[in-house]
Structure 1
Amino acid sequence: MSAPSVLFVCGRNAIRSPMGEGLWRLAYGETAHARSCGVIPAAFVDGFTVAVMQEVGIDLEDFSPIALRGVGDPPADVVISLSTAADRTAREYAQETGALFQAWPIPDPSETPGTREDRLNAYRETREAIKSRIASWNMG
Protein backbone atom coordinates (compact mmCIF):
# COMPACT_ATOMS: atom_id res chain seq x y z
CA MET A 1 0.00 0.00 0.00
CA SER A 2 1.41 3.37 -1.01
CA ALA A 3 1.27 6.31 1.36
CA PRO A 4 2.07 10.01 1.04
CA SER A 5 5.08 11.51 2.77
CA VAL A 6 4.13 12.65 6.25
CA LEU A 7 5.54 14.91 8.94
CA PHE A 8 4.38 14.30 12.51
CA VAL A 9 4.60 17.34 14.79
CA CYS A 10 4.27 17.59 18.56
CA GLY A 11 5.67 19.85 21.24
CA ARG A 12 9.02 18.23 21.99
CA ASN A 13 9.56 15.42 19.42
CA ALA A 14 10.23 13.05 22.29
CA ILE A 15 7.03 10.98 22.62
CA ARG A 16 4.09 11.25 20.23
CA SER A 17 5.73 12.38 17.00
CA PRO A 18 8.55 9.75 17.10
CA MET A 19 5.83 7.17 17.77
CA GLY A 20 3.92 8.44 14.73
CA GLU A 21 7.01 8.31 12.53
CA GLY A 22 7.84 4.75 13.56
CA LEU A 23 4.27 3.50 13.37
CA TRP A 24 3.77 5.06 9.90
CA ARG A 25 6.74 3.05 8.63
CA LEU A 26 5.45 -0.06 10.39
CA ALA A 27 2.10 0.35 8.61
CA TYR A 28 3.35 1.38 5.17
CA GLY A 29 6.84 -0.17 4.99
CA GLU A 30 10.35 0.99 5.76
CA THR A 31 10.49 2.94 2.49
CA ALA A 32 7.48 5.06 3.51
CA HIS A 33 8.61 8.65 3.85
CA ALA A 34 7.87 9.69 7.43
CA ARG A 35 9.59 12.27 9.60
CA SER A 36 8.85 13.89 12.92
CA CYS A 37 9.74 17.07 14.74
CA GLY A 38 8.86 19.25 17.68
CA VAL A 39 7.98 22.89 18.05
CA ILE A 40 10.63 23.13 20.80
CA PRO A 41 12.56 19.84 20.63
CA ALA A 42 13.70 17.90 23.69
CA ALA A 43 17.34 16.96 24.18
CA PHE A 44 16.56 13.25 23.77
CA VAL A 45 13.72 10.81 23.15
CA ASP A 46 11.66 9.81 26.19
CA GLY A 47 12.73 6.50 27.75
CA PHE A 48 9.19 5.21 28.16
CA THR A 49 8.64 5.90 24.46
CA VAL A 50 11.68 3.80 23.58
CA ALA A 51 10.40 0.97 25.82
CA VAL A 52 6.83 0.79 24.47
CA MET A 53 7.95 1.10 20.86
CA GLN A 54 10.40 -1.79 21.33
CA GLU A 55 7.36 -3.88 22.31
CA VAL A 56 6.08 -3.54 18.72
CA GLY A 57 9.49 -3.97 17.08
CA ILE A 58 10.38 -0.31 16.54
CA ASP A 59 13.82 0.79 17.74
CA LEU A 60 13.96 4.45 18.79
CA GLU A 61 17.08 4.07 20.95
CA ASP A 62 19.16 6.34 18.68
CA PHE A 63 16.34 8.76 17.79
CA SER A 64 17.33 12.45 18.00
CA PRO A 65 14.57 15.07 18.34
CA ILE A 66 14.64 17.92 15.83
CA ALA A 67 12.90 21.27 15.51
CA LEU A 68 10.11 21.93 13.02
CA ARG A 69 12.25 24.54 11.28
CA GLY A 70 15.07 22.00 11.00
CA VAL A 71 13.09 19.48 8.98
CA GLY A 72 14.35 20.68 5.60
CA ASP A 73 13.40 19.43 2.16
CA PRO A 74 11.54 17.83 0.62
CA PRO A 75 8.35 19.09 2.23
CA ALA A 76 5.84 16.44 3.28
CA ASP A 77 2.53 15.86 1.54
CA VAL A 78 0.75 15.77 4.91
CA VAL A 79 1.56 17.50 8.21
CA ILE A 80 -0.08 15.84 11.23
CA SER A 81 -0.12 17.57 14.59
CA LEU A 82 -0.35 15.19 17.54
CA SER A 83 -0.51 17.92 20.17
CA THR A 84 -3.07 20.71 20.48
CA ALA A 85 -0.21 22.97 21.64
CA ALA A 86 1.53 22.37 18.30
CA ASP A 87 -1.55 22.75 16.07
CA ARG A 88 -1.16 26.42 15.15
CA THR A 89 2.54 26.15 14.31
CA ALA A 90 2.06 22.89 12.40
CA ARG A 91 -0.90 24.33 10.47
CA GLU A 92 1.15 27.41 9.49
CA TYR A 93 4.04 25.18 8.39
CA ALA A 94 1.65 23.07 6.28
CA GLN A 95 0.26 26.20 4.63
CA GLU A 96 3.78 27.50 3.90
CA THR A 97 4.83 24.22 2.29
CA GLY A 98 1.56 23.43 0.50
CA ALA A 99 0.88 20.32 2.58
CA LEU A 100 -2.43 18.97 3.78
CA PHE A 101 -2.87 19.58 7.53
CA GLN A 102 -4.53 17.24 9.99
CA ALA A 103 -4.84 17.55 13.77
CA TRP A 104 -4.87 14.32 15.76
CA PRO A 105 -5.19 15.45 19.39
CA ILE A 106 -3.46 12.66 21.30
CA PRO A 107 -3.02 13.18 25.08
CA ASP A 108 0.52 13.48 26.44
CA PRO A 109 1.25 10.29 28.43
CA SER A 110 4.11 11.94 30.36
CA GLU A 111 1.47 13.77 32.41
CA THR A 112 0.15 10.48 33.82
CA PRO A 113 0.89 10.02 37.53
CA GLY A 114 1.34 6.73 39.33
CA THR A 115 3.65 3.77 39.31
CA ARG A 116 6.10 2.91 36.56
CA GLU A 117 3.57 0.38 35.23
CA ASP A 118 0.77 3.00 35.30
CA ARG A 119 2.95 5.32 33.26
CA LEU A 120 4.01 2.59 30.82
CA ASN A 121 0.34 1.74 30.29
CA ALA A 122 -0.38 5.40 29.47
CA TYR A 123 2.41 5.33 26.87
CA ARG A 124 0.99 2.10 25.44
CA GLU A 125 -2.43 3.76 25.16
CA THR A 126 -0.82 6.68 23.31
CA ARG A 127 0.99 4.29 20.96
CA GLU A 128 -2.24 2.40 20.26
CA ALA A 129 -4.22 5.62 19.70
CA ILE A 130 -1.68 6.78 17.10
CA LYS A 131 -1.58 3.31 15.54
CA SER A 132 -5.38 3.33 15.28
CA ARG A 133 -5.40 6.76 13.62
CA ILE A 134 -2.80 5.58 11.10
CA ALA A 135 -4.83 2.42 10.38
CA SER A 136 -7.90 4.53 9.60
CA TRP A 137 -5.96 7.32 7.91
CA ASN A 138 -7.24 9.14 4.86
CA MET A 139 -6.32 12.31 2.98
CA GLY A 140 -9.48 14.14 3.98
Structure 2
Amino acid sequence: MTTPSVLFVCVHNAGRSQMAAGFLTHLAGDRIEVRSAGTAPAETVNPAAVAAMAELGIDISGQSPKILTPDTVESSDVVITMGCGDTCPVFPGTSYRDWALDDPAGKGVEAVRPIRDEIKARVEALIAELVPIAP
Protein backbone atom coordinates (compact mmCIF):
# COMPACT_ATOMS: atom_id res chain seq x y z
CA MET A 1 0.00 0.00 0.00
CA THR A 2 1.33 3.40 -0.92
CA THR A 3 1.48 6.27 1.53
CA PRO A 4 -1.32 8.76 0.89
CA SER A 5 -0.31 12.39 0.38
CA VAL A 6 -2.27 15.37 1.71
CA LEU A 7 -1.81 18.97 0.63
CA PHE A 8 -3.16 21.79 2.81
CA VAL A 9 -3.71 25.08 0.99
CA CYS A 10 -4.58 28.54 2.26
CA VAL A 11 -3.85 31.94 0.76
CA HIS A 12 -0.76 32.89 2.78
CA ASN A 13 0.37 29.40 3.93
CA ALA A 14 1.12 31.08 7.25
CA GLY A 15 -1.62 29.98 9.64
CA ARG A 16 -4.35 27.42 8.98
CA SER A 17 -2.45 25.26 6.50
CA GLN A 18 0.71 25.33 8.62
CA MET A 19 -1.20 24.28 11.75
CA ALA A 20 -2.96 21.49 9.81
CA ALA A 21 0.35 20.26 8.40
CA GLY A 22 1.89 20.39 11.88
CA PHE A 23 -0.93 18.32 13.37
CA LEU A 24 -0.90 15.79 10.55
CA THR A 25 2.87 15.35 10.75
CA HIS A 26 2.72 15.02 14.55
CA LEU A 27 -0.27 12.67 14.70
CA ALA A 28 0.24 10.49 11.58
CA GLY A 29 4.03 10.29 11.50
CA ASP A 30 5.23 8.63 8.32
CA ARG A 31 1.82 7.06 7.55
CA ILE A 32 0.79 10.12 5.50
CA GLU A 33 2.93 12.42 3.34
CA VAL A 34 2.22 16.00 4.40
CA ARG A 35 2.49 19.13 2.25
CA SER A 36 1.29 22.70 2.58
CA ALA A 37 1.35 25.72 0.28
CA GLY A 38 -0.33 29.03 -0.41
CA THR A 39 -1.57 30.92 -3.43
CA ALA A 40 0.09 34.15 -2.17
CA PRO A 41 2.55 33.01 0.53
CA ALA A 42 3.44 35.34 3.39
CA GLU A 43 7.05 35.93 4.34
CA THR A 44 6.80 34.06 7.65
CA VAL A 45 4.50 31.74 9.56
CA ASN A 46 1.97 33.57 11.75
CA PRO A 47 3.56 33.98 15.24
CA ALA A 48 0.18 33.41 16.94
CA ALA A 49 -0.19 30.10 15.08
CA VAL A 50 3.33 29.11 16.14
CA ALA A 51 2.52 30.01 19.77
CA ALA A 52 -0.83 28.18 19.74
CA MET A 53 0.78 25.01 18.37
CA ALA A 54 3.69 25.25 20.85
CA GLU A 55 1.12 25.13 23.67
CA LEU A 56 0.36 21.57 22.51
CA GLY A 57 4.03 20.64 22.11
CA ILE A 58 4.10 20.94 18.32
CA ASP A 59 6.85 23.15 16.89
CA ILE A 60 6.05 24.75 13.52
CA SER A 61 8.50 27.63 13.99
CA GLY A 62 10.94 26.15 11.48
CA GLN A 63 8.38 26.09 8.67
CA SER A 64 8.22 28.70 5.94
CA PRO A 65 5.34 29.58 3.61
CA LYS A 66 5.62 27.97 0.17
CA ILE A 67 4.06 28.87 -3.16
CA LEU A 68 1.37 26.55 -4.49
CA THR A 69 2.39 24.90 -7.77
CA PRO A 70 0.27 22.83 -10.17
CA ASP A 71 2.72 19.94 -9.74
CA THR A 72 2.17 19.89 -5.98
CA VAL A 73 -1.60 19.75 -6.45
CA GLU A 74 -1.44 17.13 -9.20
CA SER A 75 0.82 14.83 -7.18
CA SER A 76 -1.33 14.95 -4.02
CA ASP A 77 -4.04 12.38 -3.24
CA VAL A 78 -6.12 14.77 -1.13
CA VAL A 79 -6.13 18.57 -1.39
CA ILE A 80 -7.70 20.48 1.48
CA THR A 81 -8.33 24.15 0.81
CA MET A 82 -8.89 26.69 3.56
CA GLY A 83 -10.27 29.89 2.15
CA CYS A 84 -8.39 30.24 -1.14
CA GLY A 85 -11.59 30.16 -3.20
CA ASP A 86 -11.11 30.14 -6.96
CA THR A 87 -7.34 30.77 -6.79
CA CYS A 88 -6.54 27.09 -6.11
CA PRO A 89 -5.83 25.02 -9.22
CA VAL A 90 -8.08 21.99 -9.71
CA PHE A 91 -7.03 18.76 -11.43
CA PRO A 92 -9.23 15.80 -12.34
CA GLY A 93 -8.64 12.70 -10.25
CA THR A 94 -7.63 14.61 -7.12
CA SER A 95 -9.89 14.56 -4.07
CA TYR A 96 -10.74 18.11 -2.97
CA ARG A 97 -12.20 19.26 0.32
CA ASP A 98 -12.77 22.75 1.64
CA TRP A 99 -12.46 23.38 5.35
CA ALA A 100 -14.26 26.63 6.19
CA LEU A 101 -12.09 28.02 8.99
CA ASP A 102 -11.57 31.54 10.28
CA ASP A 103 -8.35 33.17 9.11
CA PRO A 104 -5.98 33.62 12.08
CA ALA A 105 -4.10 36.47 10.34
CA GLY A 106 -3.74 39.48 12.61
CA LYS A 107 -5.30 37.71 15.60
CA GLY A 108 -3.74 37.01 18.97
CA VAL A 109 -3.11 33.54 20.33
CA GLU A 110 -6.40 33.61 22.31
CA ALA A 111 -8.36 33.95 19.04
CA VAL A 112 -6.20 31.36 17.28
CA ARG A 113 -6.75 28.60 19.87
CA PRO A 114 -10.33 27.73 18.76
CA ILE A 115 -9.20 27.64 15.10
CA ARG A 116 -6.29 25.39 16.11
CA ASP A 117 -8.62 23.07 18.03
CA GLU A 118 -11.04 22.80 15.09
CA ILE A 119 -8.14 21.97 12.77
CA LYS A 120 -6.93 19.27 15.18
CA ALA A 121 -10.37 17.61 15.24
CA ARG A 122 -10.58 17.66 11.44
CA VAL A 123 -7.04 16.28 11.06
CA GLU A 124 -7.82 13.45 13.50
CA ALA A 125 -10.90 12.52 11.42
CA LEU A 126 -8.82 12.70 8.22
CA ILE A 127 -6.21 10.34 9.65
CA ALA A 128 -8.91 7.86 10.67
CA GLU A 129 -10.27 7.97 7.12
CA LEU A 130 -6.95 7.70 5.25
CA VAL A 131 -5.13 5.19 7.46
CA PRO A 132 -7.71 3.20 9.37
CA ILE A 133 -6.35 1.13 12.23
CA ALA A 134 -6.27 -2.54 11.31
CA PRO A 135 -8.51 -4.72 13.53
Normalised by the shorter chain, which TM-score bucket?
Answer: 0.7 to 0.9
Matches within 5 A, 1:6-85: 6-30=6-30, 32-69=32-69, 72=72, 75-83=75-83
Does 2:99 correspond to 1:110?
no
- Which residue number in structure 1 is paired with residue 133 of structure 2? none
Give 1:87 deviation, angstroms: 3.0
Using a 3 Å threshold, how does the CA distance of structure 1 residues 77 and 51 change in structure 2: closer, same or farther? same
Segments of 5+ residues of structure 2 without an aligned counterpart are 131-135
TM-score by length of 2: 0.81
Q: CA contact under 8 A between 1:37 and 1:71: conserved in structure 2?
A: no
What does residue 111 of structure 2 align with?
Answer: 122
**AA of the residue aligned to 1:102:** R
Deviation at 1:8, TM superposition (A): 0.2
Provide TM-score, normalisation by structure 1: 0.79
Q: CA deviation at 1:70?
A: 7.7
Structure 1: unaligned runs, 5 residues or longer: 113-118
CA distance in 2, matches of 1:70, 1:45: 22
* RMSD between aligned residues: 2.4
**Percent identity among equivalent residues?**
35
CA distance in 2 between counterparts of 1:71 and 1:64 reads 19
> Is the CA contact (8 Å cut-off) linking 2:12 and 2:65 kept in structure 1?
yes
The higher relative CO (CA closer than 8 Å, separation ≥ 6) is in: 2
Kept in 2, the 8 Å contact 1:78–1:99? The answer is yes
The letter of the residue matching 1:125 is P
